[in-house]
Structure 1
Amino acid sequence: GADANKAWHAVRRDAKKHRSPNAGWPEAAMAGALGLALAGPRFYGGVLVDDVFMGEGGRREADSLDIRQALKLYRVADYLLIALFGLVSVVVIVVT
């Protein structure tokens, strides 16, 4: 249910707008992949934090299905990263 093209588009467009130089990348990617608008204006401890939105999800709030899809996408990305490092480790061992 995730859209890789929209994820890349959201990262290129929105990641640099995030107040954190690190958090903008995964947050924008997840927003684009799942068709959500994440971040944006919100309240923390009764104080309004006026941030920009990541993604183009029509400003709808994430529901439980979105959270399940995000966790599934996270697990897939994690497995791919583990596989990549495993492959790199094997190549390094074989080459040395």
Structure 2
Amino acid sequence: VKGADAKNAWHAVWRDAKKHRSPNAGWPEAAMAGALGLALAGPRSYGGVLVDDVFMGEGGRSEADSIDIRRALKLYRVADYLLIALFALVSVVVIVA
């Protein structure tokens, strides 16, 4: 996907995913942060209560703008299509075998 950095995404996943308080959410969040060059998560406020989490990714910006959101959605769609194609291929192989 244009504007996404696969190498940085992998680097962010291996470095940051395990730091997330959710054992599952850290993987995609770190990958997206790395791919888009953002620093996601981090300290934030929910209903006036400060949540002191670590950042995912090393990006220079920690606030996504509308262009980042569009890039993230495109990246998500491409990844989703690839996953669907993989499952379709595996299904055909299993049925034929």
* Match status 1:53 vs 2:55: yes
In the alignment, the residues of structure 1 paired with residue 87 and residue 75 of structure 2 have an alpha-carbon distance, to the nearest angstrom, of 18
- Cα RMSD between the aligned structures? 0.8
Q: Normalised by the size of structure 1, how large is the TM-score?
A: 0.96
Which SS does the other structure have where 1:60 is aligned?
coil
Alignment of 1:1-96 (within 5 A): 1-93=3-95, 95-96=96-97
- Cα deviation, 1:37-79, whole Å, max 9, x if unaligned, reads 0000000010000000000112431000000000000000000
In the alignment, the residues of structure 2 paired with residue 48 and residue 59 of structure 1 have an alpha-carbon distance, to the nearest angstrom, of 20
Which SS does the other structure have where 2:50 is aligned?
strand
Which SS does the other structure have where 2:45 is aligned?
strand
In the alignment, the residues of structure 2 paired with residue 12 and residue 51 of structure 1 have an alpha-carbon distance, to the nearest angstrom, of 17
In the alignment, the residues of structure 2 paired with residue 59 and residue 80 of structure 1 have an alpha-carbon distance, to the nearest angstrom, of 28
In the alignment, the residues of structure 2 paired with residue 44 and residue 17 of structure 1 have an alpha-carbon distance, to the nearest angstrom, of 20
Percent of matched pairs sharing the same residue: 91
In the alignment, the residues of structure 1 paired with residue 88 and residue 31 of structure 2 have an alpha-carbon distance, to the nearest angstrom, of 24
Where in structure 1 are there 5+ consecutive unaligned residues? none
In the alignment, the residues of structure 2 paired with residue 60 and residue 41 of structure 1 have an alpha-carbon distance, to the nearest angstrom, of 10
Q: Normalised by the size of structure 2, how large is the TM-score?
A: 0.95
